[in-house]
Amino acid sequence: MTEAKGKGRGTTGRLCPLCDVELEEVEQPFCQACQVTIVHCHHCDAALERGKAVCPQCGEPVAEHKA
């Protein structure tokens, strides 16, 4: 894996669950390669799919995230 280079933005140390590229930290983790914001469970930190009502990892209700 190559080292991620930030352009004035910090990196999260997390990888995109879709493409394994390191996520940038803007307001929420963002994948430059996929052009998507990745939302994580507030309880277990698992990556969440859009539209899910509960976390598939721990079963906690998913909080609404507003951009």
Q: Tens digits of per-residue pLDDT, 10-66?
A: 666 788 888 888 888 766 778 888 888 888 888 898 888 778 889 989 999 987 654
DSSP conformational letter for 27: S
Q: Supply the pLDDT for residue 33.
A: 85
Take residue 38 and report the two structure tokens written for it: 């990745």
Q: Are 60 and 43 in contact (CB under 8 A)?
A: yes
- Does the structure show a pLDDT above 50 at 6? no
Q: Supply the pLDDT for residue 3.
A: 44
pTM strictly above 0.75: no
Size of the chain, expressed as the number of residues it contains: 67
Tell me the helices (H) and strands (E) count for the chain, helix number first: 0, 6
C-alpha to C-alpha distance for 60 and 53, rounded to whole angstroms: 9
Domain ranges of the chain: 10-48
